[in-house]
Amino acid sequence: MASLPELSYNGRLESSRSSPQHRGGLQSSMDYGYASVKPVQLGICGLGTVGSGVVRVLQRNRAELSARAGRDLVIRQIGARRDRPDCDTTGIAVTRDVFEVVRNPEVEVVLELIGGTTTARELVLEAIAQGKHVVTANKALIAEHGNELFAAARERGVMVQFEAGVAGGIPIIKAIREGLAANRIEWLAGIINGTGNFILTEMRAGRSFGEVLSHAQALGYAEADPTFDVEGIDAAHKLVILAALAFGMPLQFDKVYTEGISRLSLLDVEYAEELGYRIKHLGIARRTERGVELRVHPTLVPESLLLANVNGVMNAVLVQGDAVGPTLYYGAGAGAEPTASAVLADVVDVARQQGTDPASRVPFLAFHDQALETLPVLPIDEVESAWYLRMSALDQPGVLSRVASILSEAGISIEALIQKAPLPEQDHVPLILLTNPCLGASMDKAVARIEALDSIDGAVVRLRTEPLAG
Ligand SMILES: NC(=O)c1ccc[n+]([C@@H]2O[C@H](COP(=O)([O-])OP(=O)(O)OC[C@H]3O[C@@H](n4cnc5c(N)ncnc54)[C@H](OP(=O)(O)O)[C@@H]3O)[C@@H](O)[C@H]2O)c1
């Protein structure tokens, strides 16, 4: 097998067979000949899960990274409130004040890995004001303050990179921003929160939401306060970033419709399976003639789709482009090293583009800022979906036909139906319906009428279903 060429000291390509350094395994960046090129000086803020992963991967793959960047990558300073036993910072200056890193004149690229939106925003704005490039893994920061940060960065001519902010290690931002640049992106749908996907996967084995959540917390997959993950806020942060990149619009986090999985019943997981579906907590962005849909909610997905079979903490994003058709991106959406993989890819990008004319760089949100358009986002009741409905119906003749005629009067037709036998000594039976697509507002009215029937007990459970076909 032919050996790969590599850069020689003077920058020429030559066979690695002739390189004595290569035999010893990993080469240092000095061996690659970057001694004469000024290294890129990095300042890392935050030494938690991601920060420590970044340090480890950078130390392990430094030669590889430098060969890709064309310059050596050096950690000039770390800002961390405490040391970490799993992270060797020998020889690196460590400060307890993250702002000291930003103000360090030697630091050229600031890696914001502290999380949150208050100190992180101040930190990033200060880094930009100091003329430093920024790499962040912080989706909340980008989703909520990205427009402001990008404007400041444009003004100052610096880069703000955020690949790790969406789907961890999956290079989905690069794929949409660059790889799919020829396409008019029609829609995308993603499993973009690993905690939620782990819970839904485990519920298929017959365990309740609460039971699985406790297990996820014990395994470290869910936070002590799981609200951000299970109520869809984290997914909404990521979705708004993906939608901006896909459709060329500014970030509009406050417009995302968000519905969590915490009220999901095991019964619905089981009935969905009987009907040939899996329930996934999807983030969906779709361009329609009336506006853009931005929504995160539990969704019935046909079990034959690859997306329906993405299990556990894994993430996946399905993107439909007009030229390429559907493309699917799958991988680890979180974790120290998968996230570090994305952070360091951004660092390599910054190193490659440092010194280039800011106007010729890849735009923050894929489209040049003059071309960004504030597209209207549809309120959820104006979004069209097919529905799964479950209700508890009195076990007597005529109930089903009353429900069917209410739906029909609202212009909604029934696609499939399951009626269960009553349990011993119970006079109500579960009635499960799948409908054709209709507006959320039509379904609201129909459900209100169904719930008012004497023969229907309690609230109607309803979930959206998506065919996710081109
Ligand atoms: N974990 C993942 O898998 C993952 C995946 C994708 C993206 N992200 C994003 O990456 C970022 C970091 O997440 P993480 O999981 O690494 O969080 P983490 O483990 O909680 O780490 C954050 C670190 O930042 C430190 N920190 C916070 N405020 C600070 C301050 N003012 N000064 C100094 N240090 C400060 C914390 O220090 P203390 O320990 O003293 O509090 C902690 O060590 C977040 O934006 C997150 O959304 C994480």
- The protein residue with its alpha carbon nearest to ligand 1, atom 27, reads 114
Place of tokens 């959206």: 464
pLDDT of residue 21: 38
Banded pLDDT at 423 (limits 50, 70, 90): confident
Residues 86 and 234 in one domain: no
Mean pLDDT of 155-172: 98
For ligand 1, atom 44, the nearest C-alpha belongs to 115
In whole angstroms, give the CA distance from residue 452 to residue 246.
42
Per the listing, tokens 């839904």 go with 200
Final residue belonging to a domain, choices 272, 307, 332: 332
Out of 44, 95, 114, 237, mutate this one to test ligand 1's pocket (max ligand atoms within 8 Å of CB): namely: 114
Percent of the chain with pLDDT over 70: 92
- Residue 1, burial from CB neighbour count under 10 angstroms (0-12, 13-18, 19+): exposed
Residues 147 and 49 in one domain: yes
Whether residues 319 and 341 fall in one domain: no
Is the distance from the beta carbon of residue 49 to the nearest atom of ligand 1 less than 6 Å?
yes
Residues 243/366, Cβ–Cβ less than 8 Å: no
Sheet of strand 73-79, all strands in order from the earlier edge strand to the far edge: 93-95, 73-79, 40-45, 109-112, 133-136, 160-161
Instruction: Please state the rounded mean pLDDT for residues 178-189.
Output: 98
Question: Do both 281 and 177 map to the same domain?
Answer: yes
Question: CA-to-CA distance for 330 and 171, rounded, in angstroms?
Answer: 9
Q: What letter would DSSP give residue 332?
A: E
Q: Which of 55, 57, 81, 221 to mutate to test the pocket of ligand 1 (most atoms within 8 A of CB)?
A: 81
What percentage of the chain reaches a pLDDT higher than 90? 87
Give the pLDDT confidence of 80-99 residue by residue, as tens digits: 999 999 899 999 999 999 99
Alpha-carbon gap, residue 197 to 282, rounded angstroms:
9
Determine the pLDDT at residue 348: 98
366 lines ligand 1 (CB under 6 A): no
Do 70 and 87 touch, CB atoms closer than 8 A?
A: no
Where in the sequence is the domain holding 284, given as residue range(s)? 173-332
Q: Are residues 96 and 200 in the same domain?
A: no
Left if phi > 0, otherwise alpha if psi is -120 to 50, otherwise beta: which for 458? left
Confidence grade of residue 425 (pLDDT, cut at 50, 70, 90): confident
Question: Same structural domain for residues 178 and 230?
Answer: yes
**Rounded to whole angstroms, what are the CA distances from 87 to 43, 64, 108, 272, 336?**
15, 20, 22, 45, 12
Partnered with residue 112 across adjacent β-strands are 45, 136
Q: The domain that contains 359 carries what CATH number? A: 3.40.50.720
> What pLDDT, on a 0 to 100 scale, did the predictor assign at position 20?
33
Q: What is the pLDDT of residue 470?
A: 65
313 has a pLDDT exceeding 80: yes
Residue 377 carries which DSSP code? Answer: B
Same domain for 227 and 251? yes
Give the residues across from 391 on adjacent strands. Answer: 431
Answer yes or no: do 277 and 345 share one domain.
no
More confident call, 216 vs 14 = 216
Give which of 29, 28, 33, 40 is closest to 7, Cα–Cα: 33
How many domains does the chain contain in total?
Answer: 3
| CATH code, 327 | 3.30.360.10
pLDDT digits over 5-52, tens only? 333 323 333 333 333 333 234 445 455 566 678 999 999 999 999 999
User: Do residues 246 and 185 make contact, with C-beta atoms less than 8 angstroms apart?
Assistant: yes
Residue 34's pLDDT is what? 67
Distance, CA of 52 to CA of 344 (rounded, Å): 12
Q: Which of 371, 451, 440, 450 is nearest to 405 (CA)?
A: 450
pLDDT of residue 2: 36
Between CA 439 and CA 57 the distance in angstroms is: 48
Within a domain: 76: yes
Predicted confidence (pLDDT) at residue 431 exceeds the cutoff of 80: yes
Choice between 22 and 275, residue whose per-residue pLDDT is larger: 275
33 and 77 fall within a common domain: yes
Task: Please indicate, yes or no, whether the overall pTM of this predicted structure exceeds 0.85.
Answer: yes
Does residue 79 line the site of ligand 1, with CB under 6 A? yes
- Residue-level pLDDT at 10: 31
Average pLDDT, the chain: 92
Q: Mean pLDDT over residues 277-286, rounded?
A: 98
Please give the pLDDT value at position 4: 32
Which has the closest alpha carbon to 150: 358, 364, 356, 355?
A: 364
pLDDT tens-digit readout, 318-355: 999 999 999 999 999 999 999 999 999 999 999 999 99
Which CATH number fits the domain that encloses residue 435? 3.30.70.260
- In short, whether 81's Cβ falls inside 6 Å of ligand 1 is yes
Q: How far is residue 89 from each of residues 29, 66, 95, 449, measured CA to CA in Å?
A: 19, 19, 11, 65
Q: Which CA distances in Å does 250 have to 142, 188, 303, 368, 371?
A: 11, 17, 34, 11, 10
Q: Which of 93-107, 115-129, 143-157, 417-431 comes out lowest in average pLDDT?
A: 417-431
Q: Is residue 7 part of a domain?
A: no
Please count the helices (runs of H) and the strands (runs of E) in the chain. Answer: 15, 19
Q: Answer positive or negative: Cα dihedral of 96, 112, 116, 230.
A: negative
Please check whether residues 277 and 352 belong to one and the same domain: no
Residue 45: strand pairing partners: 79, 112
Average pLDDT (231-252) is 98
Closest atom of ligand 1 to 334 CA is: 3
Under 8 Å between Cβ of 332 and 338: yes
pLDDT for 147 equals: 98
**Amino acid found at 276:** G
**Residue 298 domain-assigned?**
yes
Residues 6+ apart with CB under 8 A from 373: 248, 249
Pocket test for ligand 1, best of 113, 145, 315 (most atoms within 8 A of CB): 113
Q: How confident is the model at residue 440 (pLDDT cuts 50, 70, 90)?
A: very high
Q: Is residue 2 part of a domain?
A: no
Shared domain for 205 and 351, answered yes or no, is no
Residue 461 lies in a domain: yes
Q: Could you write out the DSSP letters of every residue in 131-175? A: T-EEEE--HHHHHHHHHHHHHHHHHHT--EE-GGGTTTTS-HHHI
The rounded distance, in Å, linking the Cα atoms of 434 and 437 is 10
Q: Is the CB of 256 under 6 A from ligand 1?
A: no
Domain shared by 405 and 341, yes or no = no
Residue 422: which pLDDT band, with cuts at 50, 70 and 90? confident
Structure tokens at 353: 């583009």
Q: Please state at what angle helix 49-60 crosses helix 62-69, rounded to 10 degrees.
A: 80
Whether the CB of 333 sits within 6 Å of ligand 1: no
Residue 10 lies in a domain: no
SS3 category, 101:
helix
